Amino acid sequence: MLTYFLLFAAFLLLAVRFFKLLRLKRRNLSAAEIDQHLHRLLNEKRNQP
Amino acid sequence: MKKRIGVQFRKTRKTKHAFERIQACKRCHTYHVLWDTHCETCRRAYTPVREVSAAVTRRYVQTRFLLLGLFVCLAILCATTLTEIAIAIGVGLLFVCLFFVIQKKYGSYEKDAQLQTFFSQEEEALKKSFLYHLEQVGADVKAGQIKEAYEKTREIGYFVDSDTIKIRKIMFLNHFVLRKDMELELETLIPSTYDKDFMEYLREVVKVQPSLVKKAVLDYVRRYKAQILLLENGEQLIGQVAGAALRMRAYVEEYQDLIIEFIDYLPRERLLRLAKMIRDHRNENWEQLYHFAKNRVDTHFAFDPDFKGVL
């Protein structure tokens, strides 16, 4: 019984991983978006570093 | 007028995206955007930030794989019958294969997402590193090394978009003799408000690299026309900028008012260019421009053979 439970846990892990990666694929973040994100981080809340 | 010095700027690295310029020292946990290849504290070679982030992703994937392996191994160990052992081994192998297939197919998307998260997590460290670079700039200025100060500020400017950085760069650039062969910037230096030093810089840039005058610069000049006219030779400056706008038909159309207003300050060669453009685009609602250009040509260049028959 414990064997099946552990296999189910492994399956859950795999499923979570699959859906996480699928979500990231759908989001399809481009390098330009990453660049924009970085600029926003470095320039928000203040006018000078 | 202050004395300008002749310099040769260090070539800046060409990258498609700004984040590709960031390097990390894994030992000191600092970031670096200048040209050094080794950390000045620990002498260790810098690593591109993408690689550092990829290593974090790799570790995360390895942890997940180990966890999956652990569950499968435990399932095999907990099996009480031969059937259960066979099922555990079979299903375990299937899961491992699936893990690799999923990873191979979608792993690259995770790397990009992780890079974004990585920047969010490292925000403070990045800001601290930029602050350190700015302190270096301050030290260079104190030591009279304006060229180094400008080059460092230029690199920081790829990331920090603030008037402080822009005005510093302008002030440094105003110390140098500008030449055609230099890697100069103009659009990236436009401050959010009127700045006299920027106008001084613009005056020099227009002389050596008029191709740098683009829409943002023309908009700036149009917006602060009243203040520019208060400067010494302000009309000539706007005339030069308007002359630089004659490179493109779209600019001529959009900034007709500026060109018309300062047509008397256009240099001869620019006026000739304008006259030829008007001749080639007669049917494009440029009557007013034609009228003023013709008037200027007739008044000042009536006997100039280059202008003969153009308008």
Tens digit of each residue's pLDDT (9 = 90 or more) over B116-159:
999 999 999 999 999 999 999 999 999 999 999 999 999 999 99
Judgement on whether residues B197 and B290 belong to the same structural domain of the protein: yes
Judgement on whether residues B67 and B185 belong to the same structural domain of the protein: no
Question: Per-residue pLDDT averaged across B61-70, rounded?
Answer: 95
Q: Does B112 touch chain A (CB under 8 A)?
A: yes
- Confirm whether B80 is domain-assigned: yes
Pick the residue with more confidence: B263 or B3? B263
Q: How far apart are CA B130 and CA B286, in angstroms?
A: 50
Predicted pLDDT at B124: 92
Beta-carbon separation of A3 and B80 below 8 A = yes
Beta-carbon separation of B162 and A48 below 8 A = yes
Which of B79, B102, B131 has its CB closest to that of A3?
B79
Q: Does B136 touch chain A (CB under 8 A)?
A: no
Predicted pLDDT at B213: 94
Judgement on whether residues B187 and B304 belong to the same structural domain of the protein: yes
Residues of chain B above pLDDT 90, percent? 71
Contacts of B1 (CB under 8 A, 6+ apart): none
Which of the listed residues B72, B98, B121 is the one where a domain comes to its end? B121
Output the pTM of the full model: 0.82
CB neighbours (10 Å) of residue B62? 10
Which of A6, A28, A42 has its CB closest to that of B160?
A42
Amino acid at B157: G
Mutation for testing the B interface, residue in A11, A18, A38 having most B CBs under 10 Å: A38
List the 150-169 stretch of B: residues with Cβ below 8 A of A.
156, 159-165
Beta-carbon separation of B78 and A6 below 8 A = yes
B92 chain-A contacts, CB cut-off 8 A: 7, 10
Question: Per-residue pLDDT averaged across B96-125, rounded?
Answer: 92
Residue B289 has pLDDT above 90, yes or no: no
- How far is C-alpha B101 from the chain's CA centre? 39
Amino acid at B256: Q
- Confirm whether B103 is domain-assigned: yes
Question: Per-residue pLDDT averaged across A12-17, rounded?
Answer: 95
Judgement on whether residues B188 and B302 belong to the same structural domain of the protein: yes
Residues of chain B above pLDDT 70, percent? 99
- Confirm whether B171 is domain-assigned: no
Q: How far is B53 from chain A (nearest CA, A)?
A: 13
Query: Do the Cβ atoms of B19 and A38 come closer than 8 Å?
Result: yes
Q: How far apart are CA B163 and CA B74, in angstroms?
A: 60
Name the average pLDDT for chain B.
Answer: 91
- Confirm whether B169 is domain-assigned: no
Q: How far apart are CA B202 and CA B220, in angstroms?
A: 11
pLDDT digits (tens, 9 = 90+) for B183-241: 899 999 999 999 999 999 999 999 999 999 999 999 999 999 999 999 999 999 999 99
Instruction: Domain of residue B91: give its range.
Output: 46-121
Q: How far apart are CA B227 and CA B197, in angstroms?
A: 13
Predicted pLDDT at B59: 95
CA atoms within 13 A on the CB side of B43: 0
**Radius of gyration of chain B from its Cα atoms, rounded to whole angstroms:** 30
Q: How far is A45 from chain B (nearest CA, A)?
A: 12
Which of the listed residues B77, B105, B121 is the one where a domain comes to its end? B121
Q: How far apart are CA B17 and CA B35, in angstroms?
A: 16
Q: In what order do the strands lie in the sheet with B47-48?
A: B30-32, B23-25, B47-48
Predicted pLDDT at B288: 86
Predicted pLDDT at B13: 87
Q: Does B60 touch chain A (CB under 8 A)?
A: no
pLDDT band of residue B1 (cuts 50, 70, 90) is: low
pLDDT digits (tens, 9 = 90+) for B67-83: 999 999 999 999 889 99
B80 chain-A contacts, CB cut-off 8 A: 3
CA neighbor of B262 nearest in space, from B248, B244, B242, B233: B242
- Confirm whether B216 is domain-assigned: yes
Judgement on whether residues B107 and B228 belong to the same structural domain of the protein: no
Judgement on whether residues B199 and B114 belong to the same structural domain of the protein: no
Which of A6, A18, A25 has its CB closest to that of B109?
A25
pLDDT band of residue A21 (cuts 50, 70, 90) is: very high
Predicted pLDDT at A47: 45
Predicted pLDDT at A46: 53
A→B contacts (Cβ < 8 Å), by residue, are 2-4, 6-7, 9-11, 13-14, 17-18, 20-22, 24-25, 27-35, 37-39, 41-43, 47-49
Amino acid at B92: G
CA neighbor of B46 nearest in space, from B67, B63, B21: B21
Task: Show me where the domains of chain A are located.
Answer: 2-43
Q: Quick one: CA dihedral B130, B133, B137, B138, positive or negative?
A: positive
Residues of chain A above pLDDT 90, percent? 76
Beta-carbon separation of A29 and B161 below 8 A = no
- Confirm whether B227 is domain-assigned: yes
Q: How far is B304 from chain A (nearest CA, A)?
A: 52
Beta-carbon separation of B159 and A3 below 8 A = no
Residue B2 has pLDDT above 80, yes or no: no
Q: How far apart are CA B287 and CA B283, in angstroms?
A: 9
- Confirm whether B127 is domain-assigned: no
Predicted pLDDT at A48: 46
- Is the ipTM reported for this complex over the cut 0.90? no
Map residue B177 onto helix, strand or coil. coil
